[in-house]
Structure 1
Amino acid sequence: MKNLVRLLRYLRPSTSWVVISLVMMVLGTVIDLIAPWMLKLIFDEGIGGSDVKLILALIIGLAGIQVVKSIAMFVQGRAQELVGQNVVYTLREQLYNHLQRLSFSYYDKAQTGQLMSRMTGDIESVKNFIGFGAMAMFTGAMTFVGTIVFMAFIQWQVTLLCMASVPLLLFALYQFNKKVGPAWGQIREQMGKLTTTLQENISGIRVVKAFARENVEQSKFEERNDQNFETNMDRAKLEAKSFPLMNFYGGLVFLTMIWVGAYFVAKGNMSLGTFMAFQWYTWGIIWPLNMLGWQINIMQQAIKAAPRVFEVLDTPVDISSEAGANADTDRIEGNVSFEGVSFHFADQDPEQDAGILVDISLGVKQGEVIAVLGATGSGKSSLIALMSRFYDVSQGRLLIDGVDVRDYELEGLRRKIGIVPQETFLFSATIRENIAYGVPEATQEQIEWASRKAQIHSFIDTLPHGYDTIIGERGVGLSGGQRQRVALARAILMDPPILVLDEATASVDTATESAIHEELLEVMKGRTTFIIAQRLSSVKRADRIVVLDGGKIVQQGTHKELFEQEGFFRNLFQMQEAAAAR
């Protein structure tokens, strides 16, 4: 119920349209209640009194109020849809904005397909209830109560007898509501899993084809699709059992009215006009109760979908600009200091699990080029991620220019650190837009300058549309090395005081790597640069090399100093020299 109340709060910005919709709904309901009474007058007063003028006047009146009702229904329908769309717009905007603010730790576990399902299907279910279902339920309740009041005022004995089977219909609705809720909960969850499977398959289609796993992936999707089908069929069976029973009980109400009404007319205790009016009024009892089954369906979909949406909205943003974080990021020069820094993921127990980073102390001066080496899982990328506050340190402090990174405004901090990630991601847009992603106001000359430094300009020039070439989703159409160089140009264009190259040349050939490093020599001047690499050729120009093992710094020094020591660096050097000699 609290989720339903929370949903209804989203109606506040559309209060005026809600009021208009309610007014139109009340007007339409009143017309529905007056119309049978006018029919009664046609039979009793007009036909009974042979008053043709009265009959004509009442018929014209009926036509007139039906025109008014039609106009009211049009206004109500438009107002309801506007209210529903406003709720959807607000929810989607809030959800998307919140997803942008959530930290890396959330996305380490979140499934993209589930998030897509919540952003689309779940919010659509909420809209159907807010924009249509809730108002329809209110309309039905008003019509039901109003009809009973009018019928009782005209002939209370027949009204009470007609209501004999209504408790059975209400009980059937109660049972249906109790069972259909969990069914819709299962459907929403299964739909999220199905969307996840679809998204993963499409995103990884090249891997699927490369390993000839189409049949396996098809079987996986069919299994999810079957589960979704079965879950929907279970819900459909429930509806198939409940709705005919509700219709049967509704039919009993009508049959009872005809039988009792006809008896009272025959006995002279009720006029023919009242009998005809009661036939009309009876539908005011039957249809709200029968429609309530569908409205419960819509309500339960929203009730089961809303927690999935609110679960994301209620996820705390664990990394944001701290209160009072006002250190001037424009003055960042690039002096970086790790002081006893340790790092654990949120789901790790610091007392039992080994840290990703353990007691890291490292000072880097502005303009220094620091190479970070280590085996897979040694904590190289985590060390860099802490600088941009993708994660926060678990212990110790990380300072930039003597200021704790948590005291900088988050967006400003990240704009001062240009990163070329190990996993290159490009958007489905032009090459120009991808390179200028961090600096959308960049001129063509600036974009070309960055491209030349990244050794990608000459390739772009060979394309039919040059920088206006659309490269497709995730950079499809470019080789791994080309994507990496576009990402490198994107980072260079930001002109940051701190530059991070996380395996930035891993996908290019040795000759291109050498050319890139020659161009980067100029780019790195005066700029603090961190190079994470496995190839020693990538780090030979580094001022200092830091070797990580098990999250700890085990070696530190220049290329010459580390080569003279026993350890990871010399072993790596010897292995790569032997491989090159083959």
Structure 2
Amino acid sequence: MKTLMRLMIYVKPSARWVVAAVIIMILATLFDLIAPWILKEIFDKGIAVKNMSVVISLTLLLAGVQALKSAGMFLQGYSQELVGQNVVFKLREELYAKLQRLSFTYYDKAQTGQLMSRMTGDIEAVKNFVGFGAMALFTGLLTFVGTFIFMLWMQWQVTLISAVTIPLILLVLWRFYRKVGPAWSSIREQMGKLTTTLQENISGIRVVKSFAAENSEKGKFAARNKQNFETNMERAKLEAKSFPLMGLFGGLTFVLMIWLGAIFVARDEMSMGTFMAFQWYTWGMIWPLNMLGWQINIMQQAVKAAPRVFEVLDADVDIESPDAGRETKGMKGFVTFDGVSFYFADQDRKSDEPILKSIDFKVNQGEVIAVLGATGSGKSSLIGLLSRFYDTSSGRVLIDGTDVRDYELDGLRRSIGIVPQETFLFSATIRDNIAYGYPGATQEQIEHAAAKAQIHSFIEGLPHGYDTLIGERGVGLSGGQRQRVALARAILMDSPILVLDEATASVDTATESAIHEALLEVMKGRTTFIIAQRLSSIQHADRIIVLERGKLVEQGTHRELSERNGFFRKLFEQQQKQQASL
């Protein structure tokens, strides 16, 4: 009930259309209730006394009632669909907006396929109930009650005796209602898992084919698909047990009514017109109960799907822009890490080592800082704290003397141009990808950024130049080309702080050298962090910071660290040997 009440909040903006649909539905139900009575009058006051004028006039009236009902059903159907679509529109809008607000902490644990399933299938299930199921349920109940009252008014003895099977139908419905809810809950969960498996396979298809793992993936998908099939068949078994039984009891009601009606007509205790009207009314009493099973199905789908949507909407947003966030206009780029420690949200702080522990260092405006360390040393986490992808567990990260948590969030992130280690490009033109963070950039600005990233000549050589469409995730480009497009995107932002996270790892040595030369101009007056494994990538760094297991163990210039017997020197000697062996 709580879920249904919450859904009604989304129906409220369409209250006018709901009222219109309800009024039309009530009128249509009244037409349905009047029609059998008109049929009764046709038999009793027309056919029985051979009065054709009454037959013709009442038949025309019956046709008019049906025409009015058909027009009303059109308006009702349109109103219901509009209400359902409005609810879906608002839910999808809120859900997508919430997904944009949720931090990296949420996405570290969330499954893309599950989120896609909630955005599509689960919301569609909600729409089916709000747009059709709820009104159909109300219509059925009103029709049943109204029909029962009309039948009692016309011939109460036949009505009561014929209705002895109704409690049996209601009992079947109650048992079905109790069991179908958990079944739909399992189906929604299994569908989310199936979508996740499909999404992962398609996204990683190149890895799958590289390792000739198609059969393994087929097996994985087949297992998920089988689970989904079996869960649906369990639900279908419930329907197969319940619906035919309801049909049987409904048929018995018809048989009883005909048998009793015939007896009462033979005794002159019931007119032929009333008998014919009861044929119609009995259907009006049985179909709402039979349809109630399908409506319960639709309702249970929505009741089990809606909490999955609300779960995302109710997820805590742990990183938000402060109410009176400081503007970043005029930011210079003085960076301070003051006693910074960091744990992931699900880490056990008593037993697990922190990702970063007691990090202290300062960076002056325009200084180029290289961050070195083995895999898992905390390099990317360090940069994530700078952009507030995560918040520190203790200590502070300051830019120009202000805690990053006090800055307006969008402004803070626009002030830090990032070239991530995992390059992501959108299914759009190269121009759109480069200008993603600065949609208003001129063509000249875009080309200038591309030239600095050593990608302009390549783009110019394409058949459509900057209007060339690239595939999903940039599959139309090589790894190095994608990385250079991402670099151009960061350069175009013209941010006071630049972060290069393995930004040249996918390019050859010659291109890397050319990019570094071009970046010398870009980095002038700009605070720059370079995360790299190649020492050639940090040759222009003013200072090098070395992380080991989350601790800052070394910092200094290239020469200073070369003279110490630490991580940097070992890495330097190792790469020297590798180059000598080539």
Instruction: Give your verdict on TM over 0.5.
Output: yes
User: What's the CA shift for 1:351?
Assistant: 2.3
3-state DSSP of counterpart to 1:244: helix
3-state DSSP of counterpart to 1:324: coil
Give 1:267's aligned residue. Answer: 267
Give 2:103's aligned residue. Answer: 103
Structure 1 CA distance for aligned equivalents of residues 406 and 178 of structure 2: 52
Give 1:82's aligned residue. Answer: 82
User: Which stretch has the larger CA shift, 391-400 or 230-239?
Assistant: 230-239
Structure 1 CA distance for aligned equivalents of residues 38 and 304 of structure 2: 44
3-state DSSP of counterpart to 1:556: strand
User: Which stretch has the larger CA shift, 65-74 or 178-187?
Assistant: 178-187
Structure 1 CA distance for aligned equivalents of residues 316 and 220 of structure 2: 33
User: What's the CA shift for 1:51?
Assistant: 2.3
Give 1:278's aligned residue. Answer: 278
User: What's the CA shift for 1:350?
Assistant: 2.0
Structure 2 CA distance for aligned equivalents of residues 68 and 54 of structure 1: 21
User: What's the CA shift for 1:332?
Assistant: 1.0
User: What's the CA shift for 1:45?
Assistant: 1.6
User: What's the CA shift for 1:323?
Assistant: 2.7
Structure 2 CA distance for aligned equivalents of residues 305 and 354 of structure 1: 39
Structure 2 CA distance for aligned equivalents of residues 233 and 48 of structure 1: 53
User: What's the CA shift for 1:346?
Assistant: 0.4
Give 2:188's aligned residue. Answer: 188
User: What's the CA shift for 1:458?
Assistant: 1.1
Give 1:202's aligned residue. Answer: 202
Structure 2 CA distance for aligned equivalents of residues 510 and 228 of structure 1: 50
Give 1:228's aligned residue. Answer: 228
Structure 2 CA distance for aligned equivalents of residues 265 and 329 of structure 1: 89
User: What's the CA shift for 1:260?
Assistant: 1.1
Structure 2 CA distance for aligned equivalents of residues 475 and 271 of structure 1: 79
Give 1:479's aligned residue. Answer: 478
Give 1:455's aligned residue. Answer: 454
What does the per-residue CA deviation read over 1:71-99, in whole Å, with 9 as the maximum and x for residues that have no partner?
A: 00000011111111111111111111100
User: What's the CA shift for 1:155?
Assistant: 1.2
Structure 2 CA distance for aligned equivalents of residues 148 and 41 of structure 1: 19
3-state DSSP of counterpart to 1:330: coil
Give 1:63's aligned residue. Answer: 63
Structure 1 CA distance for aligned equivalents of residues 324 and 470 of structure 2: 42
Give 1:120's aligned residue. Answer: 120
Give 1:498's aligned residue. Answer: 497
Give the AA of the match of 2:260. Answer: V
User: What's the CA shift for 1:331?
Assistant: 2.0
Give 1:414's aligned residue. Answer: 413
C-alpha RMSD of matched pairs (Å): 0.8
User: What's the CA shift for 1:285?
Assistant: 0.6
Give 1:31's aligned residue. Answer: 31
Structure 2 CA distance for aligned equivalents of residues 559 and 432 of structure 1: 38
Structure 2 CA distance for aligned equivalents of residues 549 and 143 of structure 1: 74
3-state DSSP of counterpart to 2:353: coil
- 5 Å-filtered alignment, 1:424-443, equals 424-443=423-442
- 5 Å-filtered alignment, 1:299-314, equals 299-314=299-314
What does the per-residue CA deviation read over 1:168-189, in whole Å, with 9 as the maximum and x for residues that have no partner?
A: 0000000111111111111111
Give 2:563's aligned residue. Answer: 564
Give the AA of the match of 1:430. Answer: T
User: What's the CA shift for 1:352?
Assistant: 2.0
3-state DSSP of counterpart to 1:329: coil
Give 1:15's aligned residue. Answer: 15
- 5 Å-filtered alignment, 1:134-149, equals 134-149=134-149
Structure 2 CA distance for aligned equivalents of residues 480 and 48 of structure 1: 89
Structure 2 CA distance for aligned equivalents of residues 324 and 419 of structure 1: 25
User: What's the CA shift for 1:106?
Assistant: 0.6
Structure 2 CA distance for aligned equivalents of residues 205 and 56 of structure 1: 71
What does the per-residue CA deviation read over 1:346-390, in whole Å, with 9 as the maximum and x for residues that have no partner?
A: 001222211100011111111000000000000000000001100
Give 1:399's aligned residue. Answer: 398
User: What's the CA shift for 1:267?
Assistant: 1.3
Give the AA of the match of 2:447. Answer: E
Give 2:445's aligned residue. Answer: 446
User: What's the CA shift for 1:153?
Assistant: 1.0
User: Which stretch has the larger CA shift, 269-278 or 373-382?
Assistant: 269-278
User: What's the CA shift for 1:438?
Assistant: 0.4
Give the AA of the match of 1:320. Answer: E
Give the AA of the match of 2:328. Answer: T
3-state DSSP of counterpart to 1:305: helix
Structure 1 CA distance for aligned equivalents of residues 522 and 240 of structure 2: 70
1:331 aligns with 2:330: yes
Give 2:379's aligned residue. Answer: 380
3-state DSSP of counterpart to 1:378: coil
Give the AA of the match of 1:109. Answer: K
Give the AA of the match of 2:358. Answer: D
Structure 2 CA distance for aligned equivalents of residues 443 and 324 of structure 1: 32
1:552 aligns with 2:546: no
Give the AA of the match of 1:152. Answer: L
User: What's the CA shift for 1:46?
Assistant: 1.7
3-state DSSP of counterpart to 2:216: helix
Give the AA of the match of 1:129. Answer: F
User: What's the CA shift for 1:241?
Assistant: 1.1
User: What's the CA shift for 1:49?
Assistant: 3.1
User: What's the CA shift for 1:238?
Assistant: 1.3
Give 2:49's aligned residue. Answer: 49
Give 1:574's aligned residue. Answer: 573
User: What's the CA shift for 1:52?
Assistant: 2.0
Structure 2 CA distance for aligned equivalents of residues 486 and 297 of structure 1: 50
Give the AA of the match of 1:471. Answer: I
Give 1:359's aligned residue. Answer: 358
User: What's the CA shift for 1:322?
Assistant: 1.8
Structure 2 CA distance for aligned equivalents of residues 263 and 175 of structure 1: 35
Give 2:511's aligned residue. Answer: 512
Structure 2 CA distance for aligned equivalents of residues 228 and 577 of structure 1: 55
What does the per-residue CA deviation read over 1:212-235, in whole Å, with 9 as the maximum and x for residues that have no partner?
A: 111111111111111111111111
Structure 1 CA distance for aligned equivalents of residues 295 and 575 of structure 2: 69
Structure 2 CA distance for aligned equivalents of residues 578 and 217 of structure 1: 41
User: What's the CA shift for 1:50?
Assistant: 2.9
User: What's the CA shift for 1:43?
Assistant: 1.2
Structure 1 CA distance for aligned equivalents of residues 182 and 515 of structure 2: 59
3-state DSSP of counterpart to 2:329: helix
User: What's the CA shift for 1:47?
Assistant: 2.2
Structure 1 CA distance for aligned equivalents of residues 409 and 263 of structure 2: 80
Give the AA of the match of 1:310. Answer: F
Give the AA of the match of 2:465. Answer: G
User: What's the CA shift for 1:324?
Assistant: 2.5
What does the per-residue CA deviation read over 1:25-67, in whole Å, with 9 as the maximum and x for residues that have no partner?
A: 0111000000011111111122233322222111111011111
What does the per-residue CA deviation read over 1:464-498, in whole Å, with 9 as the maximum and x for residues that have no partner?
A: 11111111100112111110000000000000000
1:527 aligns with 2:495: no
What does the per-residue CA deviation read over 1:505-532, in whole Å, with 9 as the maximum and x for residues that have no partner?
A: 0111111111100000000000000000
User: What's the CA shift for 1:4?
Assistant: 1.4
TM-score under structure 1 length normalisation = 0.99
Give the AA of the match of 1:556. Answer: Q
Give the AA of the match of 1:375. Answer: A
What does the per-residue CA deviation read over 1:268-313, in whole Å, with 9 as the maximum and x for residues that have no partner?
A: 1111111111111001110000000111111111111111111111
Structure 2 CA distance for aligned equivalents of residues 502 and 174 of structure 1: 60
Equivalenced residue count is 581
Structure 1 CA distance for aligned equivalents of residues 425 and 233 of structure 2: 41
Give 1:543's aligned residue. Answer: 542
What are structure 2's unaligned runs of at least 5 residues?
none
Give the AA of the match of 1:406. Answer: R
Give 1:342's aligned residue. Answer: 341
User: Which stretch has the larger CA shift, 545-554 or 264-273?
Assistant: 264-273
3-state DSSP of counterpart to 2:553: strand
User: Which stretch has the larger CA shift, 459-468 or 142-151?
Assistant: 459-468
Structure 2 CA distance for aligned equivalents of residues 412 and 350 of structure 1: 32
Runs of 4+ in 1 over 6 A off after TM superposition: none
Give 2:152's aligned residue. Answer: 152
Structure 2 CA distance for aligned equivalents of residues 444 and 500 of structure 1: 24
